[in-house]
Amino acid sequence: MPQLIYQEDRARYTIDACLPQLSAVRAGKIALHALTHGDYPGTRLPDGQIPEISSMGFLDAVGNQDWGMEDHRNEGVEICLQESGQNTLVVDGKKYTMPAGTLSITRPWQKHRVGDPHLGPGRLHWIIIDVGVRRPNQPWVWPAWCILTADDLAALTSLLRGNEHPVWQADGELVHVFQ
């Protein structure tokens, strides 16, 4: 799969290469379990199998880490759940505390990172859903398997596109879904 690129005026961005995570896995600092398409780390999904899922999985960090994620951008809507432990999420330069049971959502190509500067202990889940955005103001195209009505998808898209608060407290049912 070719490297995905987002272009805004003269600025061009590519998706996250996940190099700090890969280094931490190789060093035995974290366990990473993921299904993926493209250049993300994890077990490759077959071509054509839920292609709109760029990556989904979780990582387990035992104890405070001596590394953190770099500022990066993903091509899709990234939904994360801090199941246990605590981390700091930085989105567009603003810091948010993510205790256990916290949900975060970043928009396609929005600059963000987990860790400030280092990752904390705990389990972090994620799913990145590609909605086809490669330029500003493009319409979001949700996967056909998304079962929301057209009106609900339009409302969700509007909410996410205009949202400037990426962190919420999750309820037990949502935590269970990620587990």
Question: Residue 35: which CATH number?
Answer: 2.60.120.10
When pLDDT is cut at 50, 70 and 90, the band that residue 4 belongs to is low
pLDDT tens digits along 124-176: 999 999 999 988 788 999 999 999 999 999 999 999 998 899 999 999 999 99
Contacts from 61-64 at CB under 8 Å and sequence distance 24+? 61/24, 61/29, 61/30, 61/85, 61/119, 61/120, 61/121, 61/122, 61/123, 61/124, 62/29, 62/30, 62/121, 63/121, 64/118, 64/119, 64/120, 64/121
- Closest listed residue to residue 106, CA positions, set 16, 2, 12, 3: 16
pLDDT tens digits along 69-127: 989 888 899 999 999 999 999 999 999 999 999 999 999 989 999 999 999 999 999 99
Contact of 83 with 100, CB cutoff 8 Å: yes
How many domains does the chain fold into? 1
Contacts of 18 (CB under 8 A, 6+ apart): 40, 41, 72
Domain range spanning residue 105? 5-178
pLDDT at residue 10 in the model: 76
Asked whether the predicted pLDDT for residue 177 surpasses 60, the reply is yes
The side-by-side arrangement of strands in the sheet containing 122-130 is 43-44, 30-36, 53-61, 122-130, 76-82, 102-106, 167-169
